[in-house]
Structure 1
C-alpha cells in the first residue's frame, strides 16, 4: 500500500491544480460566449479521442511497462496545459484553443485511466480493492472542495496565467512520484495468452471478453443508460448555477465545493468501510439516491442552501456505486488483460459522451429555456415548481431526467437478474482454474 500511497499523493496534488485550471477556464469560456452549447463542445472534444483510440491504448497498457504508460499520459496532459499557458501569456487565447487542448487532454486520459486502474490490481491485495478505489475517488473529489475556492481567490491576484503555471508544476510532481515507486507487471494468465496476437486482435479482445460475459455486459449496459440520462442535465451544472445567480462565480464555486464535500465524505466512508458485502447492493441503493439528490432535489433548488444540501448528499452515493463497480471488474478480470478490457469497457460506457453535452446544451438553449420563459404548456406545468426566470428550463431538464434515472434503477433491479446476481454468475479471476 505504501507505493500506491506515494503515487496517489502525487495525483492528488496534480488534480487539485488541474481542477483549478478547469474552473478558471470554464468561467472564461462562458463569459466569452454565454452559451451552454460552447461548453458542451469542449466536453465533447475531450471524449472523442478516447472513443477513437481507446482499444489501442488498452493494447499498449497490457503490452508495455505500465509505469511508462502512466508517465507518458501525464506528459501528454501537461503539454496541453503548457500550450494554453503560452497562448494566454501572449493574449491570443480563443475558444478553439480550449477545444484543441481538450482533445490533447483526452488523448492523455485515454492511456492514463486504464494504466492507473490496472496498476491497482498489481500494487495492492484483492481485499483492499474497494479501499483503494475509495482513495482514488478522493483524488477526483477532494480537489473539488479547495480548487473552486482557491481559484476564486487566486484568479484576481495571479490571473489565469498563474493558475496555469501552478498546474504545469504539479504535473511534474506527479511524474516524479511515479519514478520513485515500483509498479509490478502482471503475471500472464491463460486468458492473456489466448488474447495475444496482432494489434487488431488484441484491440478487439477486450470487447469479445465483455460480450462473452452476460453479467459484466449487463452491468455495463446499466451504467450506459444511466450515464446518458444524467448527462442530459449534469452537463448543465455551470450554466444552470450561473443563470440562476446572475453569473455569480462565488456561488458557483460554493456549489461545486459542496458537491466535492459529499464526494470526499463518500470516499472516506468507502476507504474505511468498503461498502456492503454484496457490491451490487451498494450499486442499486447508491444509484437510486443519486438520481434523487443529484437531479431532482438539485433541479428544484433556486438558492445556494438547497444546492449545498443536494450537492453534499448527492455526491456521497456515486462514490459507493463507482467503487463497487470498479472492484467488481478488478476482481473478475485477470490483471494482465485489464488494460484491454477496461479500455473497451470505458469506450462502450462513454459512447454516449459526445452526444449528451451537445444534446443537453441544445435542449437548454433552444427548447426548455425558451419554453419556460414564454406562455407555454411547459411553463404552465412546471412554473409553480421551478419558476419562469432564466435557468428554469434547465431545472425542468434536471427534474425529468431525475425521474427517468430512478425508474431505470428500479426496473433493472426487478427485471434483470443477470445484473442483480452478477457476483454469483462470474467467479473472481484468482478462482478460475
Structure 2
C-alpha cells in the first residue's frame, strides 16, 4: 500500500470517528454565523441611532456580564441535564430575544435599551449552551482527536469573525435588519436539526457530581475542584491571561493603527487578524497539536510575549501588523490545547461546571483587559511618551516619542510580563507535570462511548 493510500485511509478513519462531532459542528457553525452577523447589524444600528461610543460599548457589556454572573449557576445544571437537549433548548430560547427585536423594529418601536435587554436574555441561555457544547466534545470524539475537535471549534469562531462584518454589511443594504434576523433564526433552526440527528451517550455520573449538597456547594464545586488540582487551575488561568492580552490588544489596535493609516487600512488589518485566527484553528484541526499540551501552551505564551514586545518596539505599521498577526495565529493553539488537556483530566460528569467556570473567567478577562490596558494607554503611557513627556529623554530616544509611542511602550511591557509570567509558571511542578500527575479520566469513556461501532452513539432514527 502506497504512502498516499495510507494517508487517505488515515484521513477517512479520522472523519469516520469524528463524524458525529462534525454533524454538530457544522450546525453550530451555521448558527454562529447567523448570530455574529445579527450582532454586527445591531451594533451598526445602535451606533447610527445614537452616535455614542459609550452606548455602543454597552452592547458588549450586556453580552458579557450576564454570562459571567449566570455561568456558576449554569454549570451544575448542565452536569445534571441531558447536554444535547440543553443545547437545543438554549438555542431556541436564545432566539426569542432576537425575534422580539425584529418585531419591535417592524412596528417602529425599537429602542436601544431593547437591544440591551435582548442581549442580556441571550447571554443567559448562552451561559448554558457554551459549557454543554464544550463538555459534550469528549462524548463525541475519541481522546486522540480532542485537540483536532477543539481546533475546529476555534476555526468556527475564526470563520464567523471574518464572515460576519462582510456579510452583515452586504445584507443590511439588501434585506435590512428584519431580513438578517429572519436569516439568523433559520440558521439556528438548522443547528437544532443537526443536534436532533445525533444521540449523545449518557454520562456516567460520579459520586461527587450526584452529591446533593446546598445550592452554594453546587455552584462553588467547580472552583473547589480546580483549587484542589492546581495544575488544572493553572491551565485555566493561562487561558484567561491570553484573553486578557487579546482584550488589551483590541483596545490598542484601533487608535494605534489610525496614527499611521486610514480607516480602510484599519479594516483590512482587522480582517487579517481574523484570518490568523482562522488559520490557527485550521492548523490545529489538521495537525492535532503536540502530544504534551503544556509544551504547546507555554511555548505559545512565550512567543506571544516576543510578538507583543516586537509589535511595540518601533513606530512601524508593518511590524505591528505582522507581530499581532502571529500573536493571533497562536490563540487557537493555546485554547485548543488547554481544552484538550482539561477534557482528558476532568470527569465528564462534572465538565459542565468546570467549563462554565472557565468560560466565566475568560469572559471577564477580555473586558478587564480592554478597560485596564485602555486606561493605562490613555492616562499613563501616552503622556509619558509625549514629545515633552517624562520618558521622552530616556526610553523615547530608543523607541521614539509622540502619538502612539506610549501604546508601543505598553505593548513592550505586556510582552515582557508575558514572558516572565510564563517562565515562572512553567517552573511550578504542578502545572508542568499536570499531564503526568493526573490520570486520563476519559480513557475508558472515550474508548467505549466514542467508538464508531458503539450502538449507544449513533444517528437518530
TM-score normalised by L of structure 1: 0.85
2:334 alignment partner, one of 318, 321, 325: 321
Tell me the residue number matched to 2:268: 254
Counterpart mapping for 1:256-275 below 5 A: 256-275=270-289
Tell me the residue number matched to 2:295: 281
**How far has the Cα of 1:331 moved from its partner?**
0.5
Distance across 1 between alignment mates of 2:397 and 2:118:
40
Tell me the residue number matched to 1:69: 86
Distance across 2 between alignment mates of 1:394 and 1:412:
26
**How far has the Cα of 1:298 moved from its partner?**
4.9
**How far has the Cα of 1:149 moved from its partner?**
2.9
Q: What are the Cα deviations for residues 107-127 of structure 1, in whole angstroms up to 9, with x where unaligned?
A: 122111110011111112112
**How far has the Cα of 1:372 moved from its partner?**
5.9
- Compared CA separation, residues 16 and 242, structure 1 to 2 (3 A): farther
Distance across 2 between alignment mates of 1:346 and 1:262:
22
Residue aligned with 2:291, SS:
coil
Structure 1 window deviating more from structure 2 (280-289 vs 355-364): it is: 355-364
Q: Please tell me whether the aligned partners of residues 148 and 289 of structure 2 are also in contact (alpha carbons under 8 angstroms).
A: no
Distance across 1 between alignment mates of 2:433 and 2:367:
31
Structure 1 window deviating more from structure 2 (221-230 vs 419-428): it is: 221-230
- Compared CA separation, residues 3 and 152, structure 1 to 2 (3 A): same
Q: What are the Cα deviations for residues 228-251 of structure 1, in whole angstroms up to 9, with x where unaligned?
A: 4543333444565567645x2x43
Q: Please tell me whether the aligned partners of residues 296 and 337 of structure 2 are also in contact (alpha carbons under 8 angstroms).
A: yes
Distance across 1 between alignment mates of 2:204 and 2:254:
45
Distance across 2 between alignment mates of 1:393 and 1:86:
47
Rg larger in structure: 2
**How far has the Cα of 1:281 moved from its partner?**
0.4
Distance across 2 between alignment mates of 1:383 and 1:90:
60
Distance across 2 between alignment mates of 1:4 and 1:238:
37
Structure 1 window deviating more from structure 2 (375-384 vs 42-51): it is: 375-384
Structure 1 window deviating more from structure 2 (313-322 vs 153-162): it is: 153-162
Distance across 2 between alignment mates of 1:83 and 1:393:
44
Structure 2 unaligned spans of 5+: 1-17, 445-461
Q: Please tell me whether the aligned partners of residues 254 and 266 of structure 2 are also in contact (alpha carbons under 8 angstroms).
A: yes
Q: Please tell me whether the aligned partners of residues 332 and 428 of structure 1 are also in contact (alpha carbons under 8 angstroms).
A: yes
Tell me the residue number matched to 2:434: 422
Are 2:361 and 1:344 aligned?
A: no
Are 2:195 and 1:178 aligned?
A: yes
Counterpart mapping for 1:297-308 below 5 A: 297-298=310-311, 308=321
TM-score normalised by L of structure 2: 0.80
Q: What are the Cα deviations for residues 375-433 of structure 1, in whole angstroms up to 9, with x where unaligned?
A: 423566559747634x66555543432332232222222x322211111121111469x
Superposed CA RMSD in Å reads 3.3
- Compared CA separation, residues 224 and 308, structure 1 to 2 (3 A): closer
Are 2:44 and 1:16 aligned?
A: no
Distance across 1 between alignment mates of 2:416 and 2:158:
25
- Compared CA separation, residues 393 and 89, structure 1 to 2 (3 A): farther
Counterpart mapping for 1:220-259 below 5 A: 220-238=236-254, 241=257, 245-246=261-262, 248=263, 250-259=264-273
Q: What are the Cα deviations for residues 176-220 of structure 1, in whole angstroms up to 9, with x where unaligned?
A: 221222122212234434x44444433222222111112112323
Q: Please tell me whether the aligned partners of residues 36 and 160 of structure 2 are also in contact (alpha carbons under 8 angstroms).
A: yes
